[in-house]
């Protein structure tokens, strides 16, 4: 502009040339002329100064507004994050449901408030009554704010006014966050807040810098304008119209190049100035200036806002398809022209970005909830239902899950073309026209489900009405689905470890149609569920195998015996098969052994170990050992099992970790019951009069951990009709109750069933004592005692004299006649003769003979004081003896030897239902002929 002024002087001489002797112009006179608005230079100076002031003020306003908005947004984000963090903290639901929530939550809230710099952390119940507050006097008073959205499970951030913090009423920014239980219900509300004064501290801290910068800019601009005007004045002696226009265009370009709309509205409501951005945002007509704002076609609310004369910060108004953030500041308060300045900022993109961020946050939260809520059990069907519960209604309005039948059985799926069974259906409405749960479905080619299974990826059908493949599956049902309002579908195959398990389908009716972005989310959600379903499938397979193995190892039917009336129950645990077992083993002399045991642990290993121990118990029982000896042998066996299952490095790959066992022998002749237990719960005895008790049975260490320690026994004298209950710890143990409560329940249930059959007693005990969700398997054995009448028992003391054999044989014959067993007399005489003769010849005194007439058998027992046991051997043709035991074995159903503390007992048992009458008529010579050189003995 200086060059332009010089050219102007060269072409036109000054209007009034000065003389050589004319005095110079004084500075004071120059300033007066410069301030004279009539001169062009003065007008340029004033115009420049005015434009700079407007720009500086506008920019300052914008910056201040932006800083204030940023501080306010930061405060809103801060209270929202802190509120959600405190509401979702561990123990919140338990604290709200405690007897005194304020005592638990007030210290926490104050600690969070002091650490986070918040002004208040308030917890209320669902009725809006404060449970915590920085001012203790406000506790118990109603919460000031909006809680209705939070009662519906939503989070809000709002401005409120009231006694939020100590010191009186004030404006605050507060969040209102629900505290959700595991089932989604609201347990309480958390509100965190900061005061507006607190928010404005940051803005006030920046104002001196901004004002100083603006003042410096204004001073620099004014000084520059003064220098330029002085130079122009000196060079041009006044500005012309061209220079004035040029200067105006420059400042006008600056005003219209800013990315925010600027409006200046006069006191009379007329638009004085609108830059290009304001015209574009408001779609103003070309002749908008000097017209009233109400005549510009603006929305009434927007027009009122521009002419209200009040200060407004970031008021959001919809103009067409845009969301504008409007800031209005009145002018003229300090002597200037009345009116207001408004700035406009297009926040549509920011709002869209914020919406996408919120959607992403919700999706991440949904995935987190899926990780927590899916797979809580190892049940395939329940896991599928959990997927639908997570998806509806937060992602879809309806959700359906189909699985291959092989998956439901726990098998490895190998045919994706096989029909699938719908396992779970869930929706925002009951009874949708979709296939119900349990329906077997074969998807037709071209349907979204078929395509998803074929490609391994999710398939989107945004408009079901236009999906011919989906409608071809079932045209009539498709019509009803569309009439129900369902309009959009995403079908995702459920895949785990590269194997297709089934299909997950998400439907929408009230929400907007699915978009391609939703497909990837549905795939991620389904992939997490597929892993849990596959885990449940594999568990179901292993559980089935273990249950099958265990049931194959347990007795399928109880053996016949007359000493006890027995009933039993076995229940496998839901979490896995254990090692519980029971047995009823008939013993010689009409006695019966009752066994109940429990291997520590679950799974196939526990079941297999149980089978080994049960087999060992049978083998040891066949030797007719006492209970303490049987458990001693079992302890040694268990220790060897542990040693065998330890690898060379000394780490147990499948260690048994011990087992427990209770072994009891009941004698129906004497009514005595001998018991021993190794780490196992003691039995319960119910006497015929209804009195129940836990007898004192010494306890030894569990099997495998006894380290050779002796096992003690106990003897009980049981009256006929007494009930003996043996059980495993899974019946009485429960994490939610004390062990003594379980024992009391068991004793009480047995005492009330004295007149019921053992089978009924088992059912009553399970109904009364068994926990709702047993963590361990349960074995229960209930036995009702019987006695052999004294008149069916005969005993004789035998002197150590061979001549006594004939007298004993005659006594036996008479007793058999009294019992009506004449048909068994010949075989019995022969057996008694051989056994008594052997006892006199090879045994020691005392010698005795006992006959027992059981219901189905005749038992003969010969005891002596020696421990020498006879055995079958092959007799040579020249031997005089060696054939007696052969005769005993020929006529007896079974025979054997058992040892006592005073010697041994040789016993035989003859079956009365299968008496060998042909054998009774054979002569002795004929029988001896069978013991030739070619016999099998």
**From CA 562, how far away is CA 742, in angstroms rounded?**
32
**From CA 140, how far away is CA 102, in angstroms rounded?**
9
3-state SS assignment for residue 296: coil
Per-residue pLDDT of 825-834, as tens digits, reads: 888 888 888 8
Give the residue carrying structure tokens 């398939």.
459
- Here the tokens at position 284 are 């103003």
- Using the predicted structure, report yes or no on whether residue 389 has a pLDDT greater than 80: yes
Q: Report which secondary-structure segment, H or E, holds 475.
A: helix 475-483
Per-residue pLDDT of 531-556, as tens digits, reads: 999 888 888 787 777 777 777 777 77
- Give the closest residue to 391 by CA, choosing from 494, 522, 511, 516: 522
pLDDT at 672: 94
**From CA 153, how far away is CA 460, in angstroms rounded?**
30
Outline where DSSP puts E strands in 286-435: 312-319, 322-331, 339-346, 398-404, 420-427
Cβ-based burial of 95 (10 A; exposed 0-12, middle 13-18, buried ≥19): buried
- Using the predicted structure, report yes or no on whether residue 805 has a pLDDT greater than 50: yes
Least confident among 218-227, 436-445, 525-534, 674-683: 218-227
**Residue range 223-244: average pLDDT?**
62
pLDDT at 333: 67
**From CA 815, how far away is CA 909, in angstroms rounded?**
17
- Using the predicted structure, report yes or no on whether residue 489 has a pLDDT greater than 90: yes
Q: Report which secondary-structure segment, H or E, holds 262.
A: strand 261-266
pLDDT-derived band at 233, boundaries 50, 70, 90: low
Least confident among 9-13, 340-344, 516-520, 720-724: 9-13
Least confident among 23-37, 522-536, 683-697: 23-37
pLDDT at 360: 77
- Using the predicted structure, report yes or no on whether residue 378 has a pLDDT greater than 90: no
936 vs 359, residue with greater confidence: 359
pLDDT at 884: 66
Q: If you count them, how many residues does the chain have?
A: 937
Strands 499-508 and 312-319: unpaired
Q: Over the chain, what is the mean pLDDT?
A: 80
Give the residue carrying structure tokens 């009122």.
304
Per-residue pLDDT of 265-290, as tens digits, reads: 888 888 888 888 888 888 888 888 88
Backbone angles phi, psi at 734, to 5 degrees: -155, 135
16 vs 37, residue with greater confidence: 37
Which residues are CB-contacts of 28 (< 8 A; sequence separation ≥ 6)? none
3-state secondary structure 677-743: EECCCCCEEECCCCCEECCCCCEECCECCCCCCCCCCEEEECCCCCEEEEECHHHCCCCCCCHHHHH
The count of other CB atoms within 10 Å of the CB of residue 168 is 9
Peptide bond into 846 cis (omega under 30): yes
Give Dmax over CA atoms of the chain in angstroms: 185
DSSP for residue 563: S
Cβ-based burial of 223 (10 A; exposed 0-12, middle 13-18, buried ≥19): exposed
Per-residue pLDDT of 154-201, as tens digits, reads: 999 888 876 655 655 567 888 899 988 888 888 899 989 888 776 666
Does residue 830 contact residue 822 with C-beta atoms inside 8 Å? Answer: no
Does residue 634 contact residue 620 with C-beta atoms inside 8 Å? Answer: yes
Per-residue pLDDT of 546-596, as tens digits, reads: 777 777 777 777 888 888 999 999 887 766 667 888 999 999 988 999 999
pLDDT at 927: 47
**Centroid of chain to Cα 548:** 28
For the chain, give the percent of residues with pLDDT over 90: 22
């Amino acid at each position: 502009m200086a060059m332009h002024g010089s050219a102007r002087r060269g072409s036109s001489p000054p209007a009034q040339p000065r003389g050589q002797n004319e005095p110079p112009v004084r500075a004071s006179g120059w300033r007066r002329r410069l301030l004279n608005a009539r001169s062009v230079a003065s007008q340029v100076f004033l115009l420049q100064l005015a434009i700079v002031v407007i720009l500086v003020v506008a920019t300052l306003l914008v910056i201040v507004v932006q800083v204030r908005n940023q501080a306010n947004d930061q405060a809103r984000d801060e209270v929202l994050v802190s509120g959600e963090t405190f509401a979702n903290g561990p123990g919140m639901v338990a604290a709200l449901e405690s007897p005194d929530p304020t005592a638990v939550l007030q210290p926490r809230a104050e600690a969070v408030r002091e650490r986070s710099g918040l002004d208040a952390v308030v917890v209320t119940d669902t009725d809006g009554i404060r449970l915590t507050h920085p001012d203790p006097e406000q506790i118990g008073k109603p919460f000031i704010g909006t809680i209705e959205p939070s009662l519906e499970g939503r989070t809000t951030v709002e401005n409120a006014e009231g006694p939020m913090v100590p010191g009186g009423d004030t404006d605050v920014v507060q969040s209102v966050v629900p505290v959700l239980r595991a089932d989604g219900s609201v347990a309480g509300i958390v509100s965190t807040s900061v005061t507006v004064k607190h928010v404005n501290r940051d803005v006030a801290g920046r104002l001196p810098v901004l004002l100083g910068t603006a003042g410096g800019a204004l001073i620099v601009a004014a000084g520059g304008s003064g220098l330029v005007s002085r130079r122009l004045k000196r060079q041009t002696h006044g500005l012309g119209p061209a220079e004035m226009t040029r200067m105006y265009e420059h400042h006008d370009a600056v005003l219209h190049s800013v990315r925010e709309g600027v409006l200046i509205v006069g006191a009379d409501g007329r638009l004085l100035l609108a830059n290009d951005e304001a015209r574009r945002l408001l779609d103003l007509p070309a002749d908008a200036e000097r017209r009233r704002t109400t005549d510009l076609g603006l929305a009434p609310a927007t027009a009122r806002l521009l002419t209200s004369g009040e200060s407004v910060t970031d008021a959001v108004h919809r103009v067409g398809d845009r969301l504008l953030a409007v800031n209005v500041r009145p002018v003229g308060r300090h002597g200037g022209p009345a009116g207001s300045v408004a700035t406009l900022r297009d926040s549509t993109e920011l709002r869209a970005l914020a919406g996408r961020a919120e959607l992403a946050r919700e999706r991440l939260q949904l995935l987190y909830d899926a990780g927590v809520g899916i797979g809580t059990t190892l049940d395939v069907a329940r896991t599928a239902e959990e997927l639908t519960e997570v998806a509806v209604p937060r992602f879809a309005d309806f959700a359906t899950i189909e699985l291959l039948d092989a998956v439901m059985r726990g098998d490895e799926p190998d045919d994706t073309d096989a029909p699938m069974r719908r396992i779970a259906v869930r929706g925002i409405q009951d009874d949708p026209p979709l296939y119900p749960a349990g329906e077997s479905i074969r998807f037709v080619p071209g349907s979204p489900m078929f395509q998803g299974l074929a490609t391994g990826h999710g398939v989107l059908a945004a408009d079901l009405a236009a999906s011919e493949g989906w409608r071809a599956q079932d045209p009539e049902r498709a019509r009803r689905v569309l009439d129900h309002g369902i309009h959009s579908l995403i079908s995702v195959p459920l895949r785990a470890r590269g194997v297709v398990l089934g299909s997950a389908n998400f439907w929408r009716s009230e929400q907007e149609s699915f978009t391609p972005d939703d497909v990837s989310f549905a795939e991620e959600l389904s992939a997490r569920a597929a892993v849990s379903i596959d885990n449940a499938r594999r568990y179901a397979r292993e559980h089935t195998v273990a249950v099958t193995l265990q049931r194959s190892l347990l007795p399928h039917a109880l053996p016949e015996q007359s000493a006890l009336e027995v009933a039993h129950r076995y229940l496998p645990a839901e979490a896995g098969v254990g090692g519980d077992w029971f047995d009823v083993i008939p013993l010689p002399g009409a006695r019966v052994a009752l066994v109940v045991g429990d291997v520590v642990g679950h799974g196939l290993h526990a079941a297999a170990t149980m089978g080994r121990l049960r087999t060992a118990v049978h083998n040891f029982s066949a030797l007719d050992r006492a209970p303490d000896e049987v458990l001693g042998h079992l302890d040694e066996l268990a220790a060897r099992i542990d040693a065998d299952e330890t690898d060379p490095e000394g780490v147990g790959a499948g260690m048994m970790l011990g087992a427990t066992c209770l072994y009891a022998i009941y004698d129906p002749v004497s009514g005595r019951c001998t018991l021993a237990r190794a780490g196992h719960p003691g039995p319960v005895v119910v006497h015929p009069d209804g009195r129940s008790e836990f007898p004192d049975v010494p306890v030894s260490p569990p099997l495998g951990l006894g380290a050779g320690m002796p096992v003690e026994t106990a003897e009980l004298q049981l009256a006929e009709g007494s009930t003996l209950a043996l059980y495993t710890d899974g019946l009485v143990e429960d994490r939610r109750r004390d062990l003594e409560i379980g024992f009391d329940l068991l004793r009480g249930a047995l005492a009330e069933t004295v007149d019921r059959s053992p089978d009924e007693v088992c059912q009553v005990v399970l109904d009364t004592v068994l926990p709702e969700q047993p963590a361990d398997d349960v074995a229960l054995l209930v036995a009702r005692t019987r006695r052999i009448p004294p008149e069916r028992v005969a005993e004789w003391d035998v002197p150590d004299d061979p001549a006594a054999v004939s007298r004993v044989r005659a006594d036996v014959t008479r007793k058999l006649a009294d019992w009506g067993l004449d048909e068994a007399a010949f075989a019995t005489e022969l057996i008694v003769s051989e056994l008594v003769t052997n006892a006199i010849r090879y045994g020691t005194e005392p010698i005795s003979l006992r006959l027992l007439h059981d219901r189905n058998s005749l038992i003969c027992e010969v005891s002596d004081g020696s421990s020498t046991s006879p055995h079958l051997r092959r007799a040579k043709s020249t031997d005089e003896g060696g054939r007696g035991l052969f005769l005993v074995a020929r006529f007896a159903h079974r025979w054997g030897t058992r040892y006592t503390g005073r010697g041994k007992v040789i016993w035989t048992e003859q079956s009365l239902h299968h008496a060998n009458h042909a054998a009774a008529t054979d002569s002795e010579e004929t029988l001896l002929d069978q013991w030739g050189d070619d016999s099998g003995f």
